[in-house]
Amino acid sequence: SSQAESSLTASGVTVAFGGFKALTDVTMSITPGSVHGLIGPNGAGKTTMVNTLTGFQAPTTGSVALGGKEVGRMSPHQLRREGVARTFQAGRLFTGLDVLDNLAVTGVGLGHSRSGSEAEALRVLGWMGVPHLAERPAAGLPYTDERRVGIARALMFAPDFLLLDEPAAGMSEAEAGDLAALIARVATELGTGVLLIEHNVGLVLSVSQHVYVLDAGQVIEEGDVDVILKSQVVRDAYFGA
């Protein structure tokens, strides 16, 4: 289908660490312009899934396809160039640089000129509504700002797909609400396909068009928010009620 042709899709993915399967036969598709949620208890395999979709972890069996092309053996670097970017749970910023330089380094790495990269970095920060962060040292940034810069850096790649690994961790409800609005804009204004991994289930349900529920390495439910809220499987396995 044309949807498969333009999506980032894992099909029948199993990831084994020795004899332990962190993921078993997982099929999951991220389509452009919408937010997909990925929830599940600790150890369910969420981070392993993000790693697999971004080149940090090769599937043991199964495939990862981008626009219909197999990418399961590509490196993170190659996949970024193909339009798949991610954020990390911890900031991973260059602490000796200010925020603008952190972002500009990414642009230079992509082959842009120094001044072009800085201009792009300022444009991204402005689009996100945080232009004031540009001159702040990366070291000692408040947690929430560090998260924002992580997203800004991922947006420097102008990704077709963006995977966010627990971006709201440590945020207040108000900050998480701002983040939700930003994530929605990434999908609707930039046309990016987003995969959002979060412990904050309320945040995921508030912003996602489609939600996957992982438990013990398997997709136990998927669908729109109504489907997830009504799912007995999800209640039993995940909410424990």
Residue placing its CB nearer to ligand ADP in the complex, 48 or 208:
48
Residue 164 as a binder of ligand ADP (CB under 6 A): the answer is: no
For residue 98, list its beta bridge partners: 137
Residue placing its CB nearer to ligand ADP in the complex, 138 or 238:
238
Least distance between ligand ADP and beta carbon 195 (Å):
13
Touching ligand ADP, residues 31-60 (CB under 6 A): 40, 42-48
Residue placing its CB nearer to ligand ADP in the complex, 157 or 212:
212
Residue placing its CB nearer to ligand ADP in the complex, 17 or 94:
17
Q: Which of 4, 5, 17, 239 binds ligand ADP (CB under 6 A)?
A: 17
Residue 86 as a binder of ligand ADP (CB under 6 A): the answer is: no
Going by DSSP bridges, is the β-strand pair 35-39/210-215 parallel, antiparallel, or unpaired?
parallel
Residue placing its CB nearer to ligand ADP in the complex, 38 or 99:
38
Q: Classify each residue of 46-66 as buried b or exposed e, where b means 16 or more C-beta atoms within 10 Å of its C-beta.
A: bbbbbbbbbbebebeebebbb
Least distance between ligand ADP and beta carbon 216 (Å):
9
For binding to ligand ADP (CB under 6 A), which residues are involved? 17, 20, 22, 40, 42-48
